[in-house]
Amino acid sequence: MALNIKINLEDCYDIETLANDLSLSRFNTVLKDGSLVSLGIQISNTVHPHLPDVHNLAFGPLVDNNKIDDKIKLQHSDHSKVFSTIIFTALTFLTENKEKYLGIDGSNNARAYMYYRCIQNNFDYLSQFFNVYGVNYYVRVLRKLRDEDGGHPIDGHDLKAIPQKIEKNAVISADRLYNYFIFNVKEE
């Protein structure tokens, strides 16, 4: 897991655009064994039916030109360049679509932690271009039915998603990491 990623938008791989709205693009990354892998970057607005302005950013090896393997773990020779390329694509999309937001899901704890460390380690740099938000999910605590019951029961179906601005150097324990990260472009 790469945690010392340094974002530099002037040092990116060559990006091939596959859609005129930047919803799909790809670039070749070099793995530690020297082999090349084509990574697809998908920016999708079809993920959430009620949030048309929040697009989801996903990336991974492009399989058969119509599937992205977003779960695979790859040993990139230059993680910083890979993430810089993905973020540059995101910035280009957001610059063209200033009213939109891009979301990225920390699909597991390790990834969520890596994204958070990447944001914090590059906070000043990223803040030149983006507003960065974290989303926490809160669950409804129900009333106890009987006084002798231990803790309060919770209703796992009654959730609230609360966004907040990510602050520089905020320390968050692993179990309290944001569930979702959102970016939009900073107005100049």
Partner 1 sequence: MKETISYKIKQLSSKAKGSNKKNIKVTLTSGNTTSLNEAIKTKEEADVFMKMLRSL
Q: CB neighbours of 149 closer than 8 A, spacing ≥ 6?
A: none
Q: CB neighbours of 138 closer than 8 A, spacing ≥ 6?
A: 159, 160, 162
> Could you identify the residue written with the tokens 């990223």?
126
With contact defined as beta carbons under 8 Å apart, do 25 and 89 qualify?
yes
Tokens of 22: 């930047």
Q: Restricting to residues 159-178, which ones interact with partner 1 according to CB under 8 A?
A: 159-165
Query: Is residue 45 within the footprint of partner 1 (CB under 8 A)?
Result: no
With contact defined as beta carbons under 8 Å apart, do 89 and 40 qualify?
no
Please pick, from the candidates 107, 110, 153, 167, the single residue that binds partner 1 as defined by CB under 8 A: 107
Q: Restricting to residues 4-33, which ones interact with partner 1 according to CB under 8 A?
A: 9-10, 12, 15, 17-25
Shortest reach from residue 152's CB to partner 1, in Å: 20
Contacts to partner 1 by CB under 8 A:
9-10, 12, 15, 17-25, 40, 42, 44, 47-48, 50-51, 53-54, 56, 58, 60, 62-63, 66-71, 88-89, 91-92, 95-96, 101, 103, 105, 107, 128-129, 131, 133, 135, 137, 159-165, 179-180, 182, 188
